[in-house]
Amino acid sequence: MASERIEALMERTDLAVVRSCNTTELQEIGEGEIMTPYLRDCRRKQKHILHQLCVVDDMVKLLAGLESVDQLLNEPCPQNPGNDDCAAWKALKAEYQDRVQEVEEAIGTFQLCMEALQGKRQKLETLLSTLHKKKECEEKERITAKRNQRAEKQISFQLEDSLQAALNVLNACDLRLSNLQDEVNKQQERINEWTLRKDGLQMLVRGVQRNVQYRLLSVSPSELCLELLPRAAEKSLEPLRVSITMTTDDHFHLQVFQGTAGLVEQATEGQLRKVSTALVEVIERYISQGEMLSEIQALHSRLAIDWCPAERLLIFLKTATTVCHLRVGEGYPSHGRATLLSVRKDGNLLDIASLQPPEKHPVLTEWLEFLSSNPNI
């Protein structure tokens, strides 16, 4: 309310109003400077005419009161005709000057009041400017306080969210730790199981070692690769390569590789406790065919042959265009016999009825030597 009253008072004492009044006075003063000589001349002429009128009026009155011409000549002249009017005029002039002086004094007083009012106006403007600045500062402080309050609330919410997220992560970590602990326990149980299996395999190896010479090729947590050579035939047979793979359900997978040994590739599966029996069977089968396989392995180093154990078929490549096929019977060489199946030369089958070595029951070596030295094929 105080500021509104101050603004209303300043509007009433606005410099524009004062300046407009001063401008009007200045315009009047400018016109007065132009009209002053003219008005003075007019006043002088009017005074002269008035004086003449007064003289004429006095003369008319004098003549109206004369009865004869002689009376005009004998009567003395009247003193200062128009004195009454002059006196009245002087009185009016004196009153006018008094009023002008009063107005000038009032103007001076008014100017002093205006100067005081201008000083008060400047003070009010300064106070109003200070008040506006103070209001602006208060408004800025209020806005800053609200902004800070919002920022604090936002930070509080963010801290709560971060705390909740950290708690969630902590719970997830606890759950993960529990799962890992369970996994560690399971892995420890598996390690114990693999340890037992390793101990069993070591016992198996020690048992086999008494009858078989072996060489360890590779070892992994679930697979064991060996080369086996029976001691009874270690000078004539090549090593037999086998792989033992252990599964998680206490089973094994035994794989026999043909390689250059000449044994049929096969796989055997079963419970882990029976792996030793399966391995012994493989060794016995290898030993049972030891004489035949030893002969085939010896022929490998001398001639171009290919042995197919599943079909018990031996393929002899005499030349690039001559191929001989021989069948080896079961129980060879004690019971079975080696027979010639076919001879193909330049893509044509040859008659083999007359092809027979001089021996009565030739073995593979005798057959191959005969076929190598026969000029007819």
Q: Is residue 301 located within the same domain as residue 246?
A: no
Mean predicted confidence (pLDDT) in 76-94: 69
Q: Is residue 347 located within the same domain as residue 314?
A: yes
In a domain, 28, yes or no: no
Domain-terminating residue out of 245, 263, 288: 288
The domain tally of the chain equals 2
Q: Please state which of the ranges 170-174, 272-276, 324-328, 338-342 shows the lowest mean pLDDT.
A: 272-276
Q: Is residue 253 located within the same domain as residue 225?
A: yes
- Nearest CA-CA partner of 328 in 308, 353, 351, 299: 308
Domain-terminating residue out of 288, 318, 342: 288
Q: Is residue 368 located within the same domain as residue 321?
A: yes
**pLDDT surpassing 90 at residue 324:** yes
In a domain, 367, yes or no: yes
In a domain, 141, yes or no: no
Q: Is residue 310 located within the same domain as residue 332?
A: yes
Q: Is residue 216 located within the same domain as residue 243?
A: yes
Q: Please state which of the ranges 10-14, 100-104, 127-131, 325-329 shows the lowest mean pLDDT.
A: 10-14
Domain-terminating residue out of 260, 288, 316: 288
Most confidently modeled range among 4-13, 34-43, 317-326: 317-326
In a domain, 242, yes or no: yes
C-alpha dihedral over 17, 18, 22, 27, to 10 degrees? Answer: 0
Q: Is residue 234 located within the same domain as residue 267?
A: yes
In a domain, 224, yes or no: yes
Q: What is the pLDDT of residue 141?
A: 92
Is 315 within 8 Å of 294 (Cβ atoms)? no
Q: What is the pLDDT of residue 235?
A: 46
**pLDDT surpassing 50 at residue 234:** no
In a domain, 5, yes or no: no
Q: Is residue 330 located within the same domain as residue 364?
A: yes
Residue type, 145: A
Q: Is residue 254 located within the same domain as residue 322?
A: no
- Residue 372 tokens read as 């190598």
Between CA 72 and CA 262 the distance in angstroms is: 196
In a domain, 115, yes or no: no
Q: Is residue 242 located within the same domain as residue 300?
A: no
- Residue 224 tokens read as 């064991």
Residue type, 245: T
Between CA 225 and CA 197 the distance in angstroms is: 15
Q: What is the pLDDT of residue 38?
A: 84
**pLDDT surpassing 50 at residue 18:** no
Q: Note the pLDDT tens digit of each residue in 342-351.
A: 999 888 888 8
In a domain, 365, yes or no: yes
Q: 300 lies in which domain range?
A: 293-373
Q: Note the pLDDT tens digit of each residue in 154-163.
A: 898 898 888 8
Q: Is residue 227 located within the same domain as residue 242?
A: yes
Q: What is the pLDDT of residue 82?
A: 52
Residue 19 pLDDT grade (very low, low, confident, very high; cuts 50, 70, 90): very low
Over pLDDT 70: what percentage of the chain?
78
More confident residue, 234 or 192: 192
